[in-house]
Amino acid sequence: MNRANGRTVSVHLTHGGDYLGPVGPFEVGEPWWSSVGPVVGRVSAEAGVPVAVVRLVGVTGGEGGSGGHTVYHVEAWERPGGWAARPLDAVTGALLGPAERRAGWATPEGLRAAVRWAREALAAAGRPVTGRAEQVRTWNLSGLLRLPTAGGPVWLKVINPAFNAREAEAVALFGAADPALVPSVLAADPERGRVLLDEVPGEDCWGPAAAEVADIVPRLGAALAALAADGRAAAAGLRDRTPRALAAAVPALLDRLEGESDLTAGELAAARALAARLPALVEELAACGLPETAVHGDFHPGNWRSGDGGGGSGSGLVAIDYADACLGHPVMDGLRPRAFVDEERWAQLAGVWADAWRARVPGSAPERALELAGPLHHLGYALRYQEFLDHIEDSERPYHEGDPAGEVRRALEAARG
């Protein structure tokens, strides 16, 4: 197998507190550690009962959340025949034992509770579940399961409420400006980070076509401008990630990274010099005339969904995943797709974004905002990735271990550019 296109997997299987033993290693064609559907399928076939991945417990090799050899804790929903409980050795016991900062869905009990809540909420909403939940994804930031109903599939999403937006409330906020831009929320439990969403038919827009850019980028801009104009963005209670707040937080982050990253002394000195220039950059950005508003926070093409339109409206693409929504500057959403598209598509996207904002705010300078904001954009993501690391357990850190330092380096490149 080409390791760039897959990975190997080992599993520790449990049921109801009993350790049933290892499964694997085996190969799967899906390289991404968080994409657990193939793992569930393989282990279910071997055990003869439905299973679910609880969490990643270790990884060797790979990078960027893909490839290498991954080890998971998997829970059998039912006791498999012929699998007797066995004692845990010390190493495996440590892997499967409790840990600080574990996500609520990353335990067998937490998974069962989330699915039970979803079934009860859907029954109360008149959409009873008609089959078994299908696990699609799980990692340190979220989990996704698809539940079948007579009215079509429903997505159960679980996130950590300690450092994410209340997603149902964020969806409602953006949906008030453009109902077709957002998925339909069926139920939510914000205290536990749970939300039920109607499935948006279609595909994620990795490698977006020109027509897809021309559809969703101006619509997001119109929604953000509307939220700024009527004051709903400022009143929504979102995390403050405005340019001034980001600039104020960067020096403390750099102090931490001095002892917690592989940034060199020269890189840290350059980053501190850049941080000292941020207040002036913030003033220049403000002079571009674009309003601070609610922003999506992770507006890359993988979070654009194409199909029959928002909630069946037929009106265009849908933006999904509002866990990173915050109060900020619209240029942060404008710049986010750049790392995910080629130069030709980026040139089109930047032009569409600038035209949309110039139409909404006559006399503004959106092109200048795109030129200025690169360093602040990357430093903002360095802060966000550090926030992830501060709230996830140690076994899940490989997903984002080097990301804060990587974003600092990209900020320095953007400043030089």
Q: pLDDT tens-digit profile of 339-359?
A: 999 999 999 999 999 999 999
List of domains in the chain: 3-96 (3.90.79.10), 108-198 (3.30.200.20), 203-416 (3.90.1200.10)
Helix or strand or coil: residue 368? helix
At 62 the pLDDT is 87
Between CA 187 and CA 210 the distance in angstroms is 34
**What's the N-to-C CA distance of the chain in angstroms?**
40
Give the pLDDT of residue 308: 54
pLDDT at 310: 37
The pLDDT tens digits for 82-94 are 999 999 999 999 9
pTM of the complete model beyond 0.95: no
Closest-CA residue to 222 (of 170, 181, 184) = 181
pLDDT at 315: 53
Which among 25, 22, 34 has a CA at the least distance from the CA of 105? 34
Q: Give me the residues of the chain with pLDDT under 70, please.
A: 1-5, 308-315
Residues 165 and 409: their CA atoms lie apart, in Å, by: 27
Q: What is the pLDDT of residue 374?
A: 97
Phi, psi torsion values for 73, nearest 5 degrees: -90, 125
Q: What is the pLDDT of residue 396?
A: 84
Q: What is the pLDDT of residues 193-211, one digit of tens each?
A: 999 999 998 899 999 999 9
